[in-house]
Amino acid sequence: MYKVDFTPEALEDVSKLDKAISQRILRKIEWFAQHFEAITPQPLKGKLQGMYKLTIGDWRVLYTVDFASNVVTIHLIGHRREIYKT
């Protein structure tokens, strides 16, 4: 199982969301951490190169992975039409 860390920006993003949406996203992140070995990370391109995305309906979670220490760091959480503009 991978450990999940949140950046201050990601915590702020979650706090701004509707309670039902934030709970859905947090449940998916928890599931994601438990099943990371079975998942193929989806890499991003361009200015977000080096990051990966987790898709939850219309919402995106942008993260990086430290494979050596089994840590996933969540950087940004947002709607798909806005997340890539940051």
The CATH number for 3-85, chosen from 2.60.40.10, 3.10.580.10, 3.40.50.300, 3.30.2310.20, is 3.30.2310.20
CA angle 55, 64, 78 (to 5 degrees): 40
Crossing angle of helices 8-16 and 19-34, rounded to 10°: 140
Per residue in 20-67, pLDDT (tens digit) is 999 999 999 999 999 999 999 999 999 999 999 999 999 999 999 999
pLDDT of 86 > 70? The answer is no
CA 41: distance to chain centroid? 11
Instruction: Quote the pTM value.
Output: 0.93
Per residue in 29-38, pLDDT (tens digit) is 999 999 999 9
